[in-house]
């Protein structure tokens, strides 16, 4: 490939990638966001309250981690600086909703995104300059790979948030039933939450544990429930927190409130199951038409194709 065409093409690709990046950053910076600072504080509290494993001594840390750990942290910090701070707060809020604040930091996630984009650009430029592929294919790879590298982590995070929401909404009625039984047995609300969390392993029980620890540290029940509502942003759990706060303020019996909430959540879960079941015929229509119907047509019409062809040819 002629070298005179390589430099202009590479410049055009880099300019296009830069314009796309500036446009995306500007769109994100102007997009409305609410309570990001407060949610970031909640994430820090969640990391503080999360159960940590045993402290590893420095001498027991692997050699590679001790040697390359500071370098990796520096690279991560430099890559995260390329991202707007407002978007980092939004990523932190999404990690909080996905329940990943104890394992993944927002700066690390952003560094992975930026590194994926840069890696995609590098692979595309290497393929373009080396002449392994054609110019059109090289330009397409240089444009597509950075886009996939930037969007793939966001897609994965949205999927984790969706899965966690589904688990919380599906497990909340069972947890409320256990809390109702505990309250009916004579326990208070906090003790019922402790018993339910000890005997039920789910993301919703993890959120209740964080709420209990906030109460132990001096927050009122209303403030702790308000923090859980903002931390999760799940409709059923928000309704549960609001109803408990109102029952606590008005002096209503907690057992009856929990029983009513359990019945309502169970009805919602049943309605969601019916809605999914109603969508099944529409979803199987396309596989049926594309896979099964042609095979059935071949089996049914295949044996009569020969006689029909013979009859149309006049029996010769």
CATH of the domain at 176: 1.20.81
Helices (H), the chain: 3-30, 36-49, 63-80, 85-98, 106-130, 135-184, 189-199, 203-216, 221-232, 235-250, 254-287, 293-312
Look at residue 277 and tell me if it is in a domain. Answer: no
Looking at the fold, whether 159 and 71 belong to one and the same domain comes out as yes
pLDDT tens digits, one per residue of 58-71? 555 565 555 555 65
Burial readout 158-188 (b: 16 or more C-beta within 10 A, e: otherwise):
eebbeebbeebbbbbbbbbbbbbbbbeeebe
Looking at the fold, whether 38 and 118 belong to one and the same domain comes out as yes
Of the pLDDT bands very low, low, confident and very high (cuts 50, 70, 90), residue 20 is low
Say whether pTM exceeds 0.75. Answer: no
Highest mean pLDDT of the ranges 43-52, 77-86, 296-305: 296-305
Looking at the fold, whether 80 and 120 belong to one and the same domain comes out as yes
Looking at the fold, whether 16 and 124 belong to one and the same domain comes out as yes
Looking at the fold, whether 213 and 177 belong to one and the same domain comes out as yes
Check residue 54 and give its pLDDT.
45
pLDDT tens digits, one per residue of 189-239? 888 888 888 888 888 888 888 889 988 888 888 888 888 888 888 888 888
Looking at the fold, whether 88 and 210 belong to one and the same domain comes out as no
Which residues span the domain enclosing 244?
A: 167-270
Our count of domains for the chain comes to: 2
Look at residue 70 and tell me if it is in a domain. Answer: yes
Look at residue 253 and tell me if it is in a domain. Answer: yes
Looking at the fold, whether 149 and 41 belong to one and the same domain comes out as yes
pLDDT tens digits, one per residue of 246-259? 888 888 888 888 88
Look at residue 219 and tell me if it is in a domain. Answer: yes
Look at residue 296 and tell me if it is in a domain. Answer: no
């Amino acid at each position: 490939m002629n070298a005179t065409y390589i430099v202009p093409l590479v410049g055009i690709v880099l300019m296009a990638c830069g314009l796309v990046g500036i446009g995306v950053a500007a769109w994100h910076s102007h997009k409305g966001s609410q309570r990001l600072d407060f949610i970031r504080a909640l994430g820090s509290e969640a990391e503080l309250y999360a159960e940590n494993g045993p402290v590893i001594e420095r001498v027991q840390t692997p050699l590679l981690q001790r040697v390359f750990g500071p370098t990796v942290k520096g690279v991560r910090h430099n890559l995260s600086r390329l991202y707007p701070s407002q978007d980092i707060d939004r990523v932190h809020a999404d990690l909080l909703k996905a329940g990943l604040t104890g394992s993944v930091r927002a700066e690390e996630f952003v560094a992975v995104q930026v590194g994926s984009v840069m890696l995609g650009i590098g692979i595309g430029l290497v393929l373009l300059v080396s002449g392994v592929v054609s110019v059109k294919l090289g330009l397409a790879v240089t444009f597509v790979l950075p886009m996939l590298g930037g969007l793939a982590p966001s897609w994965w995070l949205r999927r984790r948030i969706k899965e966690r929401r589904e688990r919380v909404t599906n497990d909340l009625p069972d947890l409320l039933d256990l809390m109702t039984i505990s309250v009916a047995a004579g326990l208070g609300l906090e003790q019922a939450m402790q018993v339910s969390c000890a005997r039920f392993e789910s993301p919703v029980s993890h959120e209740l544990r964080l709420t209990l620890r906030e109460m132990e540290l001096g927050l009122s029940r209303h403030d702790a429930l308000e923090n859980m509502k903002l931390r999760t942003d799940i409709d059923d759990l928000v309704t549960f927190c609001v109803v408990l706060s109102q029952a606590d303020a008005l002096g209503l019996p907690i057992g009856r409130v929990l029983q009513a909430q359990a019945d309502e959540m169970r009805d919602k879960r049943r309605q969601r199951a019916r809605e999914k079941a109603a969508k099944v015929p529409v979803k199987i229509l396309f596989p049926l038409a594309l896979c099964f119907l042609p095979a059935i047509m071949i089996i049914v019409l295949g044996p009569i194709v020969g006689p029909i062809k013979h009859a149309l040819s006049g029996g010769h």
